[in-house]
Amino acid sequence: PKAKFFSLMGSLSSNSSFSPFEVVHAIAQATGAEGYFLPAPFIADSESDRDVFLSQRVVLETMELAKRADLAFVSVGELTETSLLRTQKMISEEEIASLRDLGAVGDTNGIFFDQNGKTVDHDLNRRSVAIGLTLLARTKTVALSAGHRKLSATQAILRSGAIKGLIIDGDSAVHLYQSIQKRK
The mean pLDDT value of the chain amounts to 88
| pLDDT, position 64 | 87
Q: Find the mean pLDDT for residues 117-123.
A: 96
Residue 144 backbone dihedrals phi, psi, to 5 degrees: -110, 125
Task: Note the pLDDT tens digit of each residue in 46-69.
Answer: 999 999 999 999 889 888 888 888
| pLDDT, position 3 | 87
CB atoms within 10 A of CB 118: 15
pTM higher than the cut 0.75 = yes
Burial (0-12, 13-18, 19+ Cβ within 10 Å), 49: middle
Q: Find the mean pLDDT for residues 81-102.
A: 88
Residue 16, pLDDT > 60, answer no
